[in-house]
Amino acid sequence: MNIAKEILKILIIEDDLVIAENLKEILLECGYVHVYVAKDYASAKQLKNTVQPYLFLVDVYLEGSEKDGIDIMLSEFMEYDKALIYISSLSDQETRERAKLTNPSAYLVKPFSAKQLEVAIDFAMTNHYLKSDKGREIIIDHCPFISEPNYFYVRVKDRYERVNKADVILLHSDGNYTVIVTKDKKIKHYLYLKLLLDRLSINSLVRCHNSYAVNIHHIHSFDNDNVYIIVDDTMTCIPLGNNYKGLLLDKIVKL
């Protein structure tokens, strides 16, 4: 699952307004819609609170700023836990070591191409959200779960764990497993998607793609090609297959 370009919020922290506007233009041409620019610590802090970006593009040296880019990320933004890419003309060892303290996804040395930036963002977003998912993932034993009208139990090691059906946001087929995504965890079950849908018997859970089923109560919006769902306070784009559009619309109307 990737955050759609039309939804992804990007904050550029760059003191040179010509470079900042050039970066913004590149991002807009790549399909990113929500791009914001801050020139120093004060404006970056304000925009972080109002915009709540998912990705930061940060220059290290910020003329006239109370703090440089690395210090900004260290002092204010570390707990925010979003993807970070540094964009800087500085490439010395000391600067790189300082930057590593903030766990950036990438460090691009100026000048760089539009394609290098686009690729860096793609990998940054993918790796960041895969990493953030690890702490909430459960791989269950090959054992049938116990289903009740409003909840079900899945076996995790030596115990059965209860999951409320209303908390299920989506199902995602992942090879031999189907991932059950809830409000606070991910559970990998060995059943295939179609069989798991039948076993769960959740009326609001509907197939929208060969690899996905979504809970329509958690749909934020949808268009001709995608369904948008909020997972972990992040807007997530789920593909909408042609064969399932009628089924989805029919289910939404009936509920």
Q: What is the pLDDT of residues 218-228, one digit of tens each?
A: 999 988 889 99
Mean pLDDT over 120-147 rounds to 61
Q: Which two tokens stand for residue 113?
A: 């191409």
More confident residue, 149 or 225: 225
Question: What mean pLDDT value characterizes the chain?
Answer: 85
Mean pLDDT over 127-139 rounds to 53
Candidates 3, 66, 232, 30; CA nearest to 13 is 66
pLDDT in tens, 193-218: 888 888 888 989 999 999 999 999 99
Task: Please give the single-letter amino acid code of residue 90.
Answer: L
> Is it the case that residue 156 has pLDDT exceeding 70?
no
Mean pLDDT over 162-166 rounds to 88
At a CB cut-off of 8 Å and minimum separation 6, what does 201 contact? Answer: 147
Would you place residue 87 in the very low, low, confident or very high pLDDT band (cuts 50, 70, 90)? Answer: very high
Domains observed in the chain: 9-134 (3.40.50.2300), 140-254 (2.40.50.1020)
Backbone angles phi, psi at 139, to 5 degrees: -105, 115
Q: Comparing 53-57, 87-91, 140-144, which segment has the lowest mean pLDDT? A: 140-144
